[in-house]
Amino acid sequence: MAEKKRRRMSTKTKIQLTVFLIVYITVGIINVQYLPKSPSDVLGNVANRWIVGNGPWFLQINPMTIIMSLVVIAIIVLFARAVHKEYSLVPNRKQAFAESVMDFVYDIVQSSIPDERFAKSTFKIATTLFLYIAVANLLGGFVPGISVDVTKTIGANGEIIRNAKFMLFSDTWFAPTADLNTNLTYAIMVLVISHYFGIKAKGFKAWLKSFVEPLPFLLPLNIIGELAKPISHSMRLFGNITGGGVLVLALSYFVKYMFLPPLLWGYFGIFSGLIQAFVFSTLTIAYISAQVG
C-alpha cells in the first residue's frame, strides 16, 4: 500500500518536472532570440525605476510597487479564503500550514513579551509583516514574469524623461520589498507602534525618562539610536532583495537563462527571502519588546 502511494507520488512529481522543464527550455529559447545582445543594454538600466507623476515626492508613485503589492495581497487573501472554506477541527494540509506558521511566530512573541495585552497585538503585526514579506520575496525571487525596463534620459530643458518598456520572462517579478519606500514605511510603522506600546505600558513620564536612562548627557545618543533602528531595519531587507534581484538578472543573462537560474531562484527566493522575512518580523518583536519590557 505504502509502496503504491509512493510510486503514484513519484509519477506526479515526474509530470510536474517534465512540464517545468519544457516551459523553462521554451522560455530560454525565446529569450535567446529576443534578448539584447550587449550586456550593458541589460544592466545599464538596473537602478532606474518606473515613476509616474511630476512634482514633489508625494505626487510621484511607483506603479510597479503598487501593482505587485496588490498581487501579493490577492495571493494572501485567496489562500486565507481557501483555508477558511474548509475550516475544521481536524486540519487539512493548508490549514495545518497556516496554523504551524502562526504557532511558530506566537511562540517567539510569547517568549519575549510576557504581557498578554501587548503579546496579541504584536503577534498580529509580526505575522502580517512576515506573511507579506515572505510572499513578496518568493514572488520576486523565483517566478519569472513581466518586468519593466526603464531608460532614463535628460531632456533639453534639464527635465528627466523616462521611457518604460515591458519585457516578458526576461527577469523575475519586481518584488514590492525591492523598493525602499515599502520597507521604510513598515520600519517607521514598527518604530511608532513600539513607542506607542512603550507609553501605554510604562506611562508617559517613565517613557520620557527612558531617554535619559543611564546618564542625562546620553540623550542625543539615545535619540540617534532610536532613529537608526528603522534605517537599518529597512535597508537590510531592501539591500538583500535588490542585490539578489540584480545578481539573478546579471548571472541569468550571462548564461542566457539556461540551467543556472533555478539554483539562483532557489537561493535568493526561497532561502534568502524567507530568512529576511523571518529576520524582519523577529526584529519587529525585539524592538517592541525592548520598549514594553
Partner 1 sequence: MDQETMKILADAIVVAGKAVGAGFCMGIGAIGPGIGEGNIGAHALDSIARQPELANVITTRMLIADAIAETTGIYSLLIAFLILFAL
For residues 245 and 252, give the distance between their C-alpha atoms in angstroms, rounded to a whole number.
10
Residues 255, 185: contact at Cβ < 8 Å? no
For residues 219 and 208, give the distance between their C-alpha atoms in angstroms, rounded to a whole number.
10
- In the three-class reduction of DSSP (H, G, I as helix; E, B as strand; rest coil), residue 130 is classed as helix
Minimum distance from residue 128 beta carbon to partner 1 (Å): 20
CA angle, residues 8, 14, 20, in degrees to nearest 5: 140
Minimum distance from residue 237 beta carbon to partner 1 (Å): 10
Q: Quick one: 101 or 235, whose CB is closer to partner 1?
A: 235
- Residue for grid cell 529597512: 234
Residues 6+ apart with CB under 8 A from 106: 123
Minimum distance from residue 242 beta carbon to partner 1 (Å): 7
Q: Quick one: 42 or 72, whose CB is closer to partner 1?
A: 42
Rule CB under 8 A: is residue 47 a binding residue for partner 1?
A: yes
- Residue for grid cell 522560455: 27
271: exposed, middle or buried (C-beta count within 10 Å: 0-12, 13-18, 19+)? Answer: exposed
Q: How many residues bind partner 1 (CB under 8 A)?
A: 19
Residues 6+ apart with CB under 8 A from 247: 264, 268
Instruction: Give the C-alpha distances (Å, rounded to integers) separating 43 from 86, 169, 229, 254.
Output: 47, 16, 32, 11
| String of contacts with partner 1 for each residue 206-235, x by CB under 8 A | --------------------------x--x
Minimum distance from residue 50 beta carbon to partner 1 (Å): 15
Q: Which of 236, 256, 260, 267 binds partner 1 (CB under 8 A)?
A: 236
Rule CB under 8 A: is residue 184 a binding residue for partner 1?
A: no
Rule CB under 8 A: is residue 145 a binding residue for partner 1?
A: no
| String of contacts with partner 1 for each residue 268-287, x by CB under 8 A | -------xx-xx--x-----
What are φ and ψ of residue 159, in 5° steps?
-85, 155
Q: Which of 46, 71, 188, 199 binds partner 1 (CB under 8 A)?
A: 46
Q: Which of 75, 239, 256, 270 binds partner 1 (CB under 8 A)?
A: 239
Residue 146 bridge partners (DSSP): 168
Q: Quick one: 83 or 241, whose CB is closer to partner 1?
A: 241
Q: Quick one: 26 or 232, whose CB is closer to partner 1?
A: 232
Minimum distance from residue 63 beta carbon to partner 1 (Å): 20
For residues 180 and 41, give the distance between their C-alpha atoms in angstroms, rounded to a whole number.
24
DSSP code of residue 61: B
Minimum distance from residue 104 beta carbon to partner 1 (Å): 10
| String of contacts with partner 1 for each residue 6-45, x by CB under 8 A | -------------------------------------xxx
Q: Quick one: 79 or 278, whose CB is closer to partner 1?
A: 278
Residues that bind partner 1 (CB under 8 A): 43-47, 232, 235-236, 238-240, 242-243, 246, 275-276, 278-279, 282
